[in-house]
Every structure is written in C-alpha cells, then in structure tokens.
C-alpha cells in the first residue's frame, strides 16, 4: 500500500503542475498576447451592419438583392437570462440523400435562379448548400462574381464597379482558391451606394 502512495504522490504533482501550466498559464498568456497585439480580432472582429452588430468571422444570411449572398446558414434563437434573444449559427447536419433536404435544396436553387436571371445558368453549388459549420463567412471568388449582374442592377452600380469591390476584398491566402468575406464586401457595397445618394 505504501508503494502505491509513493507512486501516486509524484503523479498527482505532475497532474497539478500540468494543469496550472497548460490549463491556466498557457491559456492566459495567449489571451494576453492576443489582447495586446490583435485587440480587434481577439474581441471577435465585430462590425456594425444594416442587420445590427455582427462578427466578420461568422456567416450572415443576406437576402437583399443589392448585397452579396453567402453560404446558407442555419440559425437558432437562444434566449438569454435577461430575456433578450441571440441568433447563433448551428451546424447543418443534413444527409445529402434526405428527401426533405433535396426538396429544400431544389426550392432554394429555383429561388437563386429566379433572383439571378442575368447570371450564367451554372449556379455555384455553395450558394444552394448549407455551411456545414453554421459560421462560414467566406465565399469563393467565382461564386461572388457570379452574382455581379444582380447586385449591379439592384444597387444601381455598374457591373465593373461591383466586380472591383469584390476583387478589392479578396482574402489573403496561400491556397489556390480565392475567397471573399461576404460581410466585408457588403459593407463596401453599402459605402458605394451611400456615396450615390
């Protein structure tokens, strides 16, 4: 029995030291560094939009034809303890062969088609499928450019200007596929529309 206790005490010391170093010291060090060097990003990259305060790191369901539309996002309303409501993104756990999902996807595809009559007939799949994480803020450059005719017509901006705004908001990336942040593009579009008024 004494041998077990002798072996147990060093193990307990290692457990406590590991918890303190990795659980607290490491976590608070990273938090402090991020607050010091990247305060905006560490706070959630929040910006004010027409839909209220939102994060550049989360997807947004835009339906206005003068805005860029991103991936479909499933949202869930959560009531806070103070009685207010918060919308959060939730994962879309759809089986791609589920008849209900296929019916919903087909209806959304028709909606996208009708909303973009001047775009090419090949609808980018990311516009008709859900974001798996529920928080996807980005869209491929090709899917963004596919929407240019609709955005230009609805916003009264030229197609060249809308294309320029989209291309000016390409995310820096080492990957081959270029992406844009939907909210950043829409904020730039709003600024241009405001300048016209």
Q: Running DSSP on this structure, what letter comes out for residue 57?
A: T
pLDDT tens, position by position, 19-56: 988 888 898 888 888 888 888 777 777 777 766 777 77
Residue 30, helix vs strand vs coil: helix
pLDDT at 92 over 90: no
Q: Assess contact for 63 and 57: CB atoms under 8 A.
A: no
pLDDT at 90: 65
pLDDT at 103 over 80: yes
What's the pLDDT band for 98 if we cut at 50, 70, 90?
confident
Report how far residue 166's alpha carbon sits from residue 161's, in angstroms, rounded to the nearest whole number: 9
pLDDT at 48: 75
Q: Assess contact for 137 and 57: CB atoms under 8 A.
A: yes
Residues paired with residue 47 on neighbouring β-strands, in sequence order? 54
Report how far residue 86's alpha carbon sits from residue 41's, in angstroms, rounded to the nearest whole number: 21
Percent of all residues in the chain with a pLDDT value above 70, rounded to a whole number: 90
Report how far residue 196's alpha carbon sits from residue 145's, in angstroms, rounded to the nearest whole number: 22
pLDDT at 13 over 80: yes
What's the pLDDT band for 124 if we cut at 50, 70, 90?
very high
Look up residue 35 and give its two tokens.
């607050």
pLDDT at 10: 85
pLDDT at 149 over 90: yes
pLDDT at 69: 92
Number of neighbouring beta carbons within 10 Å of residue 41? 12
pLDDT at 1: 63
Report how far residue 154's alpha carbon sits from residue 85's, in angstroms, rounded to the nearest whole number: 31
The lowest-confidence range among 55-59, 65-69, 108-112, 181-185 is: 55-59
Report how far residue 151's alpha carbon sits from residue 163's, in angstroms, rounded to the nearest whole number: 10
């Amino acid at each position: 029995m004494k041998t077990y206790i002798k072996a147990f005490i060093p193990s307990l010391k290692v457990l406590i030291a590991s918890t303190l170093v990795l659980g607290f010291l490491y976590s608070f060090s990273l938090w402090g560094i991020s607050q010091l060097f990247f305060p905006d990003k560490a706070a959630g990259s929040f910006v004010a939009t027409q839909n209220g305060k939102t994060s550049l790191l989360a997807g947004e369901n835009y339906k206005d034809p003068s805005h860029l539309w991103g991936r479909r996002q499933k949202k869930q309303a959560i009531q806070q303890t103070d009685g207010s409501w918060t919308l959060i993104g939730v994962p879309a756990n759809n089986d791609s062969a589920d008849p209900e999902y296929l019916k919903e996807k087909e209806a959304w595809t028709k909606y996208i088609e009708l909303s973009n009559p001047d775009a090419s007939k090949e609808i980018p799949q990311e516009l008709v499928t859900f974001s798996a994480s529920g928080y996807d803020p980005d869209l491929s450059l090709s899917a963004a450019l596919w929407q240019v005719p609709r955005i230009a017509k609805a916003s009264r901006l030229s197609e060249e200007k809308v294309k320029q705004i989209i291309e000016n908001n390409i995310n820096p990336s080492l990957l081959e596929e270029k992406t844009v942040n939907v909210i950043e593009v829409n904020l730039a579009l709003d600024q241009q529309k405001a300048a016209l008024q």
